[in-house]
Amino acid sequence: MRVFILLGHPDAASFNARIANAYETAAMAAGHEVRRQDVGALAFDPVLRAGYVDLPPLEPDLVAAQEALAWCDRFVLIYPMWWGGMPALLKGWIDRVLLPGFAFRYHEGDPWWDRFLTGKTAHIISTSDCPALYARFWYRDADFTMLKRAILGFCGIKTVKTRRIGRVKYLDAALREKLVADIARLAV
């Protein structure tokens, strides 16, 4: 299987990065081909200053992201939930990479669209400082819903696994290691 991992946390030394590292290592050990990007290490402008009317040229890192998405069978997105959603830099990556003509195309004269990334699956892994049940019932997993339906699903990617690790700031080292190992098993 071809796996594209996107670390959506801007800090490469974060707990999310440890999760991404473990997932990547496990996927390679299982014989999968793996490509990876870390949003914090990419050189790109995350802001669509004129919306989709006047798109800026894609920076090389975003061209590589589109190539990796076109190439992969499984897209793995790992990020922290901030303010009930994703970090702004990750949202900027989505805005700049999943462009009309690449990820989808609207039909002329009707409200429908073509999904260009069909046949791909996604694993979404998110961390939060609030309890996972709180995120589910109080926030209604708004970040997962947005990703699964309004972003990835809109482009044809079917989300098959979601996982949230809650209360991260309260986790001791032993529990963090156990959770990282649990996540690594998703890569197989």
Give pLDDT tens digits for 116-163.
Answer: 999 999 999 999 999 999 999 999 999 999 999 999 999 999 999 999
pLDDT in tens, 67-121: 999 999 999 999 999 999 999 999 999 999 999 999 999 999 999 999 999 999 9
- Report CA Rg, the chain: 16
How far apart (Å, rounded) are the C-alpha atoms in residues 22 and 181?
A: 7
Domain ranges in the chain are 2-187
Read off the pLDDT band of 17 (50, 70, 90): very high
What number is the average pLDDT over the span 161-184? 97
Q: How far apart (Å, rounded) are the C-alpha atoms in residues 78 and 163?
A: 10
157: its two tokens: 């990617």
**Residue 130 near residue 137 (C-beta atoms within 8 A):** no
Percent of the chain residues topping a pLDDT of 70: 100
State residue 28's pLDDT score. 98
Q: Compute the distance between CA of residue 1 and CA of residue 28 in angstroms, rounded to an integer.
A: 10
CA 17 to chain centre: 13
Whether the CB-CB separation of 160 and 121 falls below 8 Å is answered with yes
pLDDT value of position 150: 97
Please give the model's pTM, rounded to 2 decimal places.
0.96
The CATH number of 2-187, from 3.50.50.60, 3.20.20.70, 3.40.50.2000, 3.40.50.360, is 3.40.50.360
